[in-house]
Amino acid sequence: MGKILERYVLREVVATWLVVTGVLLVILLVNQVVGVLGRAASAQFPQNVVLQLIWLGTLQNLSILLPVGLLLGIVLAFGRLYADSEMAAALACGAGPVKLYLPVALLAVLAAALLAWLTLDLAPGATEQALSLRHEAIRAGQFAPIAPGKFRTFGGGNDVVYAQSVNPDGTLHNVFVERSNGPLVQVVLAERASHAVSSDGMTHILTLFDGERFEGVPGSAEFRTVRFAEHVIPVQVPVGNDPVRDLEARPSASLLNSDDPKLRAELDWRVAMPLMCLVLAVLAVPLARLRPRQGRYARVWIAILIFLLYSQLISVGKVWIARGNAPRYLGLWWTHAVVIAVALVVILGPGVLGSLRYRMRNR
């Protein structure tokens, strides 16, 4: 009977875990699609890069989905067993805590191993690949030829170019250019123009012929108008640099034995996530215990609060390490101890208080 019960509990937990993780993954994918499409529209990413960025972004965020999915999966699975009195029947037949914890512990170890591989190896590689793809997509979008009848942004959105038509040799006709520099706005109209890129690939050169330039501050009555036969506009391409993402893309082996607090904080965070998965799985079993007439979802909100507390403590601890406010030996181990203590108070607190009240009444 013991093996049957273990397999049954394991099947229930795995099925619920997969469903919960799948729902959370769909929500994540929707957010990923919206974010990537927004960046693709503003930075003019090529179409073939968008799906790759969505997939890589999903891999980067799976380290958060797996622990919360496992926690909710265990709580919901055991909640159903308690609500349908199946757990009461199993306990009445002599099933002890070992029979309940063994399948959950097995699943937790497998999930923690998967999460360790994800946070220590797969996610940094996915971040590095996403950064490379995004950088190349920005460059490809910035240096693509100007299309007729479409507004084109340069220089991080401070320069807008429009051409009514484009000849096969690249000559632009009926050109409109708007440039912003703080409150000062320049508007240039030209009959024709040429578009070139500097040898280092970091500067666009627009050469306009036979036009006018209007310069002033919007809302002010003072404007300056200049007619020109030839006017050159250099536009610098901003260099993409995201130090947080660059840090997340570093291989885990390069973070070992580092004296840089930021690198130590990143490594401690990567190690903390698999441990978080184990702790949440162990705490989920007693947390899911229901009293008579409680619904199967009665403990879900407590599980969510514990996960939010856990994730916030890890985030705060990571910031403290990165800023040098926490000793090196402390790391993020204290976050696990705090969550275990809080969870034990939530799980055992009502029973202890009930026993104290009973003893006080019978004195």
- Alpha-carbon distance of 159 to 238, in angstroms, equals 12
pLDDT digits (tens, 9 = 90+) for 228-274: 888 888 876 655 544 445 777 888 888 887 788 888 888 888 889 99
Q: Which token pair is 286?
A: 């007693």
- Alpha-carbon distance of 288 to 153, in angstroms, equals 54
- pLDDT value at residue 145: 63
Q: Against a cut of 0.85, is the pTM above it?
A: no
- pLDDT value at residue 352: 61
For range 86-108, the mean pLDDT = 76
For range 190-213, the mean pLDDT = 80
Angle (CA) 142-164-43 rounded to 5° is 20
- pLDDT value at residue 360: 67
**Helix or strand (DSSP H, E) at 358:** helix 333-361
Domain extents in the chain: 2-139+261-361, 145-200+203-236
Q: Which residue has the tokens 């729902």?
A: 23
- The answer for residues whose C-beta is within 8 angstroms of residue 340's C-beta and 6 or more apart is 279, 283
Q: Which residue has the tokens 């070139």?
A: 196
- pLDDT value at residue 113: 92
The answer to whether the CB of 279 falls within 8 A of the CB of 305 is no
For range 102-118, the mean pLDDT = 89
**Helix or strand (DSSP H, E) at 190:** strand 184-197
- pLDDT averaged over every residue in the chain: 79
Read off the pLDDT band of 96 (50, 70, 90).
Answer: low
The percentage of residues in the chain with a pLDDT greater than 90, rounded to a whole number, is 4
Mean pLDDT comparison of 27-36, 156-165, 319-328, highest-scoring range: 319-328
Q: Which residue has the tokens 């705490």?
A: 283
- pLDDT value at residue 199: 65
Three-class DSSP category at 140 = helix
For range 102-128, the mean pLDDT = 87
